[in-house]
Amino acid sequence: MTSVALRLLVLGLDNGGKSTFVTRLFGEDIEKTRPTVGLVIRTKTHIVDDVIIDVDYWDVGGQESLRRHWHNIYHKGDAVVWVIDSSDVERMETCFDQLKLTAAAIRSKSLGFLVVCNKQDLPTALSVSDIRQVSTLAVAGRHRIPNVSGTTVFMEGCSAVLMSPDDLDQIIRKFIKTFLPSLPIMESRLVLPQTLYTNQALENGEKKIQAAIDWNRPIQLPEIDFRFTALEKLCQATHTTTS
């Protein structure tokens, strides 16, 4: 089974439920959850179509005083989980203005955005369809944020306090599977080992290349002397398949 790594930046305004979402996803007691001040990093393993994905969740504080520092970690992420308070109608416009600013700041990486419409259990919460209209995000078809090229958006409703860890896990897995072609996961993680010329590493190298073919993603090849003709041909086939 192939194993890869992915780093998700968990962002959004304060009181959106980011820490509650992550805590519940990890199957832990949310009663002791406190607002994040700074950054908390945790790792969870997800399995998507027989691929083991070790996900680092970077839970970042959303207070206004902290948002000015977000730019320091933009380059660290492979995708963004943007958690919003569906009942906070007054700050909904501010929330999506900040999202668009964030997307514009990291547009060069073409990151995918999972917009989690949290707190759907509250009576004052806007529905996902209403939030979609308020946000002015294009989240149909080939999802794009207007005027921010290369940004893919997926929107999902949830209640972090009521949904089970498995339900939240399913949201993450669906996002990863649906938008994997838009994420730099394979390019940044599936790099062939520098010791590929050894017999011991050959099998692993072939598996990594085959994974890139299966996921229809390119793969970065190190500048080394390949001593196996069969592997060289497989590398060439990979680039042909994914071009």
Residue 203 within a domain? no
Per-residue pLDDT tens for 105-163?
876 566 788 999 999 999 999 999 899 888 876 554 444 555 555 567 889 999 999 99
Domain region containing 34 = 4-187+209-238
Question: Does the annotation list 15 as a binding residue?
Answer: yes
Q: Residue 236 above 60 pLDDT?
A: no
Question: Does the annotation list 109 as a binding residue?
Answer: no
Residue 65 within a domain? yes
Q: In angstroms, rounded to a whole number, what is the distance separating the alpha carbons of residues 60 and 80?
A: 11
Question: Does the annotation list 62 as a binding residue?
Answer: yes
User: Per mean pLDDT, which range of 73-87, 117-131, 215-229 is the poorest?
Assistant: 215-229
Using alpha carbons, select from 22, 4, 216 the residue that is nearest to residue 114.
22
Q: Residue 66 above 60 pLDDT?
A: yes
- Give the pLDDT score at 88: 96
Residue 43 within a domain? yes
Using alpha carbons, select from 124, 102, 24 the residue that is nearest to residue 115.
102
- Give the pLDDT score at 198: 39
Q: What amino acid positions are annotated as catalytic residues?
A: 63
Share of the chain above pLDDT 90, in %: 35
Helix (H, G, I), strand (E, B) or coil at 146: coil
Residue 104 within a domain? yes
Domain count across the chain: 1
**How does 71-101 read in b/e, with b if 16+ C-beta sit within 10 Å?**
eeebeebbbbbbbbbbbbeebbeebbebbbe
Question: Does the annotation list 119 as a binding residue?
Answer: yes
Question: Does the annotation list 120 as a binding residue?
Answer: yes
Residue 204 within a domain? no
- Give the pLDDT score at 1: 64
Q: In angstroms, rounded to a whole number, what is the distance separating the alpha carbons of residues 140 and 93?
A: 20
**Count of other CB atoms within 10 angstroms of residue 19:** 20
- Give the pLDDT score at 226: 34
Per-residue pLDDT tens for 162-214?
999 999 999 999 998 876 655 544 433 443 333 333 344 444 555 555 554 45
| Two structure tokens written together for 82 | 């943007």
Using alpha carbons, select from 39, 225, 7, 207 the residue that is nearest to residue 109.
7
Residue 172 within a domain? yes
Residue 200 within a domain? no
Question: Does the annotation list 118 as a binding residue?
Answer: yes
Question: Does the annotation list 18 as a binding residue?
Answer: yes
Per-residue pLDDT tens for 21-59?
999 999 999 988 888 878 889 999 998 887 888 899 999
- Give the pLDDT score at 199: 40
Say which CATH number the domain at 229 has: 3.40.50.300
Residue 11 within a domain? yes
